[in-house]
Amino acid sequence: MKVNINSVHFKTDKKLDLFITDKLNKLATVHTDLIGGDVMLKLANTDNPDNKIIEIRLLIKGNDLFAKKQSKSFEEATDNAIDALKKQLNKYKEKLKN
């Protein structure tokens, strides 16, 4: 699965890129309809410690799924977004079966 990772106004390190790519590739092994993923990383301009934002758009046959999460770290935000995408994928698969 092809994963595009973009960050706004900062550079990501290889460790974070690998973490995100591994998480998305694990989804691809469970759900074979995935074509690719677009990931956008942002830092919110707030004093709140929950200023890391991740947006993930999964490209699947027929539709796209989207999740946006905000947290204290990009890793935690990624985990939360992946969980949301898993739920969406399960609903999508149920819809296809019916």
Count, residues in the chain: 98
Measured between alpha carbons, how far is 14 from 64 in angstroms, rounded to an integer? 26
Give the side-chain half-sphere CA count within 13 A for 55: 8
**CATH code of 48's domain:** 3.30.160.100
Q: How many domains does the chain have?
A: 1
Q: Which domain holds residue 53?
A: 2-97
Residue 68 tokens, joined: 């946006």
Measured between alpha carbons, how far is 23 from 21 in angstroms, rounded to an integer? 5
**pLDDT by residue for the chain (98 residues), tens digit each?**
899 999 998 899 999 999 999 999 998 888 888 899 999 999 988 788 889 999 999 998 878 999 999 999 999 999 999 999 999 998 988 888 88
